[in-house]
Amino acid sequence: MKHLIDPTDLTKEEVDQIVELGEAIYADPGKYRDALKYHKLATLFYEPSTRTRLSFTAAMMELGGNVLGFADATNSSVAKGESVEDTVKVVGSFADIIAIRHHIEGAPYVASQISSVPIINAGDGSHAHPTQTLTDLITIKKELGHIDDITIGFCGDLRFGRTVHSLIKALSRYKGINVILIAPDELKLPDYIKQDVCRKQGIAYREVNNIEEVISELDVLYMTRVQKERFLDEDEFERVKDSFVLDSKKMTLAKEKMAVLHPLPRVNEILPEVDDDPRAAYFRQVEYGKFVRMALILKLLEWKDDPAHPMPKPEENFSDRRLRCNNARCICNCEQHVPQSFRLSDSGIIRCFYCDSRAAKNN
Ligand code: NCD
């Protein structure tokens, strides 16, 4: 069965098909009005969300389907201690497809292993956010006309920003991608993306620490919010929270056709004065996101039992008592029955199978 847990669960061809279908729905939404009549989507949101949950809800409604679920896990059986697998088993008997957002990294993956219906990861901790990636890809295509051959600057919280991690992974399969990372030292991109994605796939990247230095080179400027809720140290958050702010003055240095993207919500990293600039694409991006989610739901249901669209084989994984995952927010440290498991990355580093953090030695 086809799930979407990580952007690479879809082949590049499947991604392109979803983006193209999203564009077709955008052009003629009426044609899809009854496409999923009598079907149900469950949205299980264990972490706050406005856009993503409402976008999924609107997407399913515009396909003629229905939506059930929860936006606050404290009101569900989770509060009684139910595991994510049990919740998904139960909900799978009510719904045809499930979107899960979870603060625990790896939770949607573990759920997908036992689910009888397709699972969509709507964001797990600071790990991955593949439907935002589809949103970003359709936006780049609509704004620039192509995804290949672009220079994209990622600015802000590249350490905890799951949308950045997933988008870099997805872009690594397009040609001519040039990445510029704009972040303070505390918020730099995690090693596993630099080593296993950029270096392995031959993506050119460089790291700088201010926007002005590079803005004139960019086709896309991808702004992000500093993820307050992921910081374990409040002083560290205070130090970096206002690191990079985009204003009209900086926009004067940019190309005439550059697109500014932001997964939203923004806090103060883009001043409202930029909103009227035609290059500010972040509110159009929200709209494209609904159409691409409509396309995703349609395609995952169509591919559900199609042997031509399998899940990729999971990477080989192993247990080793001498190692442990140090990430307190990883599913293997949060649910007792999920064993610690590791994989050897392409760059020769042993990583947690669920959250990709580097394995630590067990004392
Ligand atoms: C992002 C997320 O949840 O990771 N937002 C979104 O999905 N629209 C970015 C963020 O929260 O900063």
- Domains recognised in the chain with CATH numbers: 130-285 (3.40.50.1370), 323-361 (no CATH)
- Letter string b/e over residues 210-233, b meaning 16 or more CB atoms within 10 A of that residue's CB: ebeebbeebbbbbbbbbbeebbee
Average pLDDT in the 333-356 region? 93
Average pLDDT in the 19-44 region? 98
- Give residue 77's identity as a one-letter amino acid code: S
Report the pLDDT value the prediction gives residue 124, as an integer from 0 to 100. Answer: 95
Report the pLDDT value the prediction gives residue 77, as an integer from 0 to 100. Answer: 67
Cβ neighbour number for residue 283 with a 10 Å cutoff = 10
Average pLDDT in the 159-186 region? 94
Q: What is the pLDDT of residues 62-110, one digit of tens each?
A: 999 999 999 987 776 676 788 999 999 999 999 999 999 999 999 999 9
Report the pLDDT value the prediction gives residue 255, as an integer from 0 to 100. Answer: 98
Average pLDDT in the 155-162 region? 92
Torsion-angle region of 286 (φ positive above 0: left; ψ -120 to 50: alpha; else: beta): alpha
Q: What percent of the chain has pLDDT over 90?
A: 81
> 264: Cβ below 6 Å to ligand 1?
yes
Cis preceding linkage at 118, omega within 30? no
Q: Longest Cα pair distance anywhere in the chain, in angstroms?
A: 61
Cβ neighbour number for residue 293 with a 10 Å cutoff = 30
Q: How far is the CA of 266 from the centre of ligand 1 (A)?
A: 9
Q: How far is the CA of 113 from the centre of ligand 1 (A)?
A: 25
Residue 334 has pLDDT above 90, yes or no: yes
> 123: Cβ below 6 Å to ligand 1?
yes
8 falls in which pLDDT band (50, 70, 90)? very high
**Cα(first)–Cα(last) distance of the chain, in Å?**
39
Average pLDDT in the 122-128 region? 94
Average pLDDT in the 176-203 region? 90
Is 36 within 8 Å of 79 (Cβ atoms)? no
Question: How would DSSP label each residue in 242-264?
Answer: TS--B-HHHHTTS-TT-EEE--S
Average pLDDT in the 202-206 region? 91
Q: How far is the CA of 46 from the centre of ligand 1 (A)?
A: 14
Q: How far is the CA of 265 from the centre of ligand 1 (A)?
A: 6
CA distance 215 to 334: 41
- Give residue 93's identity as a one-letter amino acid code: S
Residue 307 has pLDDT above 90, yes or no: yes
Report the pLDDT value the prediction gives residue 60, as an integer from 0 to 100. Answer: 98
Residue 289 has pLDDT above 80, yes or no: yes
CA distance 108 to 99: 9
Question: What 3-state class would DSSP assign to 135?
Answer: helix
Q: Which ligand 1 atom is at minimum distance from the Cα of 163?
A: 4
Mean pLDDT across the chain: 94
Question: What 3-state class would DSSP assign to 194?
Answer: helix
176 falls in which pLDDT band (50, 70, 90)? very high
pLDDT greater at residue 40 or residue 126 = 40
Q: What is the pLDDT of residues 235-273, one digit of tens each?
A: 887 877 777 899 999 999 999 999 999 999 999 899 999
Report the pLDDT value the prediction gives residue 79, as an integer from 0 to 100. Answer: 67
Token representation of residue 331 = 């599913």
Cβ neighbour number for residue 191 with a 10 Å cutoff = 15
CA distance 243 to 235: 14
Residue 47 has pLDDT above 80, yes or no: yes
Is 211 within 8 Å of 246 (Cβ atoms)? yes
Ligand 1 probe mutation, 53, 139, 166, 264, most atoms within 8 A of CB: 264
Ligand 1 probe mutation, 57, 103, 120, 132, most atoms within 8 A of CB: 132
Residue 335 has pLDDT above 70, yes or no: yes
Residue 287 has pLDDT above 70, yes or no: yes
CA distance 9 to 6: 5
Q: What percent of the chain has pLDDT over 70?
A: 99
Report the pLDDT value the prediction gives residue 228, as an integer from 0 to 100. Answer: 81
> 327: Cβ below 6 Å to ligand 1?
no
